[in-house]
Structure 1
Amino acid sequence: MIVTSPADFLAALSEQIEARGAWGKPTMSAALVVSPIGFRISPEASDNLYMKTGEIDVERAFAQHHGLVRALGDCGLPVLVVPGRDGLDDAVFVNNAFATIPDRLIVGSMRHPVRRAEAARDDVRDLFTWTFGHALTDLSQKPGISELTGPLVIDRRRGLGLCGLSQRADELGCAAMHTAFGLRLTFRFALQPSEYHTNVVLAVLAGRACLLHPGSFADPEVPAALARAYPGRTLELDDAEKQAFAANCIAVSEHDLLLSATAYRALRPASREALERWDFRLRPVEVDEFEKAGGSLRCLIAEIF
């Protein structure tokens, strides 16, 4: 079921979600990341206003990527590292091209040509289908734009999708993702024109808390409804926290919250206290070389379930 109004969302939440118990494991079992081989600031991604000017320090990017892999391992997660490729500028932001549910690989439909080439990688597809025995759902062969867990934030505990429309996800793409992930309920809404991905302004943490930046939604009733969906566990970010990628974080376990060091430094004391009160361990990782390209820590991780 896909709904588009805050009132319908709140009504459907109790009917489609709350009465039916848990949908799935709330956090991933393993992580897929792509190394920074070929990484550069993409000239195609002009709709990403978070990008900065300047050059990538390649050695620093590799060191930071290694630090991310180590942080995931420190949280008890196996990490699958796939090499990047020259010519695939943004392949490090793997969560837009590849996603999983148990026993299924989902491939996104990308807006920009360079990212379409990334989603077409046979090595990743073959790894999951031939080696791991996953079925394949290839959204790149369907109408619409659907950049997976960039525009679609998923509460995996409840089977709830939160999809922000932008140039990186349209109505057809939202419907395709809803079906591919087998979600119980998807709430579709518009982002402000300056926003390109929902996961830069909204995060659901292990299905039990929510971070959001209210001003990034076109309709102010949308963040209000989301706060009602996570009563007493919604943290509203200010402009500085949002701009520092505080919402681009990920709960990699019930209690381990990975976020960029940039985001961690920008968090207000009250924001840190709220997250810690909700029993999250904040684990900052330095990824500012990748933030130059307009994405942050969450964008670097595709979840394996």
Structure 2
Amino acid sequence: MNNLQAPSAVVMIRPHHFCSNPDTQGDNAFQTSTGEPDAVRKKALQEFDTAAQTLRDAGIRVLVFDDISTTTPDSVFPNNWFSTHSGGHIAIYPMYAPNRRLERRWDIIEELKRSYRVQDVIDFSGLEEDGLALEGTGAMVLDHIGRIAYTVTSNRADPVLLERFCTHFNYEPMAFEARDAEGHEVYHSNVLMGIGTDFAMICLSMISDPKRRAEIATRLEETGHEVIDLSEEQIQNFAGNTFALTGTKPLLALSSRALDALRPDQIRTIERSTTLLPLSIPTIETAGGSVRCMLAGIHLSPRERTQS
């Protein structure tokens, strides 16, 4: 049975046509230019395959689906277009960039239905027609135990749609503004923060409103999380883009770059309850996302296999 906050299974999408998405460069300050396209694609595939095997070796069930399109450069980041929830619920999300809307695949949802108990699928994606976006667990960092949806407001996280999601899935919305030192809006909540079972990693200084900053720190502590306060430089190195998992032991998946950015005292705090699991994905990170973005957690109960 999955730990409520730290799942033991994930969906990953193997990228065959990876590149830094030109349609998202306008609001993703984490994206960087990449090199020769064929070399970049080859490196991204190698990084992906190594990461998936590392997760499997650590006891995580990894469901890999191959990308089937040449027009979805961000397909390696599936956590934005769907999420799964205990009790058998799946949500499908509206995306901001038109070419990211092409990432949604019903064959993946059908495969989840075959392997796991799914009661319903709630599809919010039609709200793209109204210019609304809520990009899944990129836009929202969900505390599944405390039932709070921490959400940086942006063009990728509409507050009205956030309220609708929270009403349907029984979360409390906790929306706030966050900017970097140059005044750029943080494009996704999950680059700013990650919530484990016993701790939360967050850059409090990037939350614009001091009152809201204090409220969020208090809520995280009230819900049983030791707050690991990250610096903006650590955020730029994806130290906030982490994912708590349950393998053969409690794990925190993060990139090698993110681990290198952490201070020894922060690492000691994490390692009191969790084993760090670094994944080397420097090429994939040029697209502006890191390990958390690559992993769509499966919070569903497996179907019992019947003997034939």
TM-score tier after normalising by the smaller chain length = 0.7 to 0.9
Aligned counterpart for 2:219 among listed residues 213, 229, 232: 229
Aligned residue number for residue 4 of structure 1:
none
Aligned residue number for residue 238 of structure 2:
245
Structure 2, unaligned stretches of length 5 or more? Answer: 300-308
Aligned counterpart for 1:257 among listed residues 252, 265, 269: 252
Aligned counterpart for 1:146 among listed residues 110, 116, 134: 134
- Residue identity (%): 27
Question: How far apart in 2 are the matches of 1:239 and 1:162?
Answer: 18
Q: Tell me if 1:297 matches 2:291.
A: yes
Q: Tell me if 1:128 matches 2:117.
A: no
Aligned ranges for residues 101-180 of structure 1 at < 5 Å?
Answer: 101-102=85-86, 103-119=88-104, 121-129=105-113, 132=116, 134=118, 135-142=120-127, 144-180=132-168
Question: How far apart in 1 are the matches of 2:217 and 2:116?
Answer: 38
Post-superposition offset of 1:267: 1.1
Q: Secondary structure at the match of 1:105?
A: strand
Aligned residue number for residue 193 of structure 2:
202
* Counterpart residue type for residue 51 of structure 1: Q
- Tell me the TM-score normalised to structure 2 length: 0.84
Decide which moves more: 122-131 or 35-44.
Answer: 122-131
* Counterpart residue type for residue 100 of structure 2: R
* Counterpart residue type for residue 208 of structure 2: A
Post-superposition offset of 1:130: 6.1
Question: How far apart in 1 are the matches of 2:194 and 2:115?
Answer: 31
Post-superposition offset of 1:129: 4.4
Q: Tell me if 1:268 matches 2:263.
A: yes
Aligned residue number for residue 305 of structure 2:
none
Post-superposition offset of 1:302: 0.3
Q: Tell me if 1:89 matches 2:73.
A: yes
Question: How far apart in 1 are the matches of 2:75 and 2:12?
Answer: 9
What do you get for the CA RMSD once the two structures are aligned?
1.9
**Deviation per CA, 1:200-243, whole angstroms, max 9, x where unpaired?**
0111112x211111232221233322222333710111122111
Post-superposition offset of 1:171: 1.1
CA contact (8 A) 1:212 1:223 kept: no
CA contact (8 A) 2:12 2:65 kept: yes
Post-superposition offset of 1:284: 0.8
Closer, same or farther: CA 219–64 of 1 in aligned 2, 3 Å: same
Q: Secondary structure at the match of 2:138?
A: coil
CA contact (8 A) 2:43 2:283 kept: yes
Aligned residue number for residue 284 of structure 1:
278
Closer, same or farther: CA 220–128 of 1 in aligned 2, 3 Å: same
* Counterpart residue type for residue 295 of structure 1: G
Question: How far apart in 1 are the matches of 2:165 and 2:52?
Answer: 28
Closer, same or farther: CA 49–184 of 1 in aligned 2, 3 Å: closer
**Deviation per CA, 1:41-89, whole angstroms, max 9, x where unpaired?**
1110021010001235222211211122122213322111011121111
Question: How far apart in 2 are the matches of 1:131 and 1:209?
Answer: 31
Aligned ranges for residues 8-157 of structure 1 at < 5 Å?
Answer: 25-45=4-24, 46-55=26-35, 57-84=40-67, 85-102=69-86, 103-119=88-104, 121-129=105-113, 132=116, 134=118, 135-142=120-127, 144-157=132-145
Q: Secondary structure at the match of 1:274?
A: helix
- Tell me the TM-score normalised to structure 1 length: 0.85
CA contact (8 A) 1:110 1:140 kept: yes
* Counterpart residue type for residue 266 of structure 1: A
What is the total number of aligned residue pairs between the two structures?
Answer: 278
CA contact (8 A) 2:244 2:252 kept: yes
CA contact (8 A) 2:17 2:41 kept: no
* Counterpart residue type for residue 150 of structure 1: G
Post-superposition offset of 1:286: 0.3
Q: Secondary structure at the match of 2:23?
A: coil
CA contact (8 A) 1:87 1:114 kept: yes
Q: Secondary structure at the match of 2:28?
A: coil
Write out the 4+ residue segments of structure 1 that deviate beyond 3 Å after TM superposition.
Answer: 128-133
Aligned counterpart for 2:172 among listed residues 185, 203, 209: 185
CA contact (8 A) 1:31 1:302 kept: yes
Q: Secondary structure at the match of 2:84?
A: strand
